[in-house]
Structure 1
Amino acid sequence: MRILLLEDEFLIAMDVEQLCRDNGAREVVTVKDLDEIEQDKVAENFDAAILDVMVSGTSTLGFARRIRAQRLPFIFASGYTDMDEVFQTFPGIPVVDKPYSGGDLIEALAAAISRLRGSGRV
């Protein structure tokens, strides 16, 4: 699997990257700013994504809408405190609160992938 990690905190990104690799990811691409990624082709280049709600002071919710439309499995992993919009806009999308355990993160990502795999996406 090739995982997109949208995270602007260096140490967290390193931990999540290693966690994903330890659990079978072939590659983890960390992006700390939305300008670093070609947003219209994410589903062509990745198998799943882990998104922080805010990166470099910018909301990732618009990006999340794009990848949901592309039917890319994703989860939110965030310490952002005002999550009402996330829960309302993305019902059924797993949200793992920081600080999180590695097991919680991997379980949420696996559930997101399984949900779309059952619908024929992955």
Structure 2
Amino acid sequence: MVPQRVIIVEDEYLVALDVEAVLQSMGVETVVIATTLAQAKQAVEDIGADCVLLDVSLSDGKSYDFARRLGSQGIPFGFVSGYGDTTGFPDDLVEAPLLGKPFGENDVIDFVLDLVSAREKAVKE
């Protein structure tokens, strides 16, 4: 299933625009780019989200607490980061999905579809 509302939390605007273009080509209806955690939190409150793509390091802090909040709300999320793996992440987020930068269009598509399908599978169980 293609998600209809995706929030991209990324402070490198050109990267966010690239991801937005891929999401739109997939058929995602609403894509919101948030360059700060504050904007991301507001976007989730305002429109909700079918999934959220999170950069780890933003101008107003690390996105770990926001990721935890998304998880507690049942909103699928994944980190999109230049970190090669999650070894430096907090223990409770080491198993979080990670899409490493740089990435290609198909990588983004597969990542987003995996996030959404994992949630659908968990809901059915």
Deviation at 1:83, TM superposition (A): 3.2
Does 1:111 pair with 2:102? no
Flag the 1:75–1:37 CA change in 2: closer, same or farther, 3 A.
Answer: closer
Does 1:46 pair with 2:49? yes
Structure 1 residues not aligned, in runs of 5+? none
Structure 2 residues not aligned, in runs of 5+? none
TM-score, reference length from structure 1 = 0.85
Deviation at 1:76, TM superposition (A): 0.8
How far, CA to CA, are the matches of 1:57 and 1:35 in structure 2? 8
Deviation at 1:81, TM superposition (A): 5.7
Match of 1:21 among 24, 27, 30: 24
Q: How many residues end up aligned between the 2 structures?
A: 121
CA contact (8 A) 1:54 1:80 kept: no
- Matching residue of 1:96: 99
Q: RMSD value over aligned CA atoms?
A: 2.5
TM-score, reference length from structure 2 = 0.84
Structure 1 runs, 4 residues or longer, greater than 4 Å off: 41-44
Flag the 1:89–1:78 CA change in 2: closer, same or farther, 3 A.
Answer: same
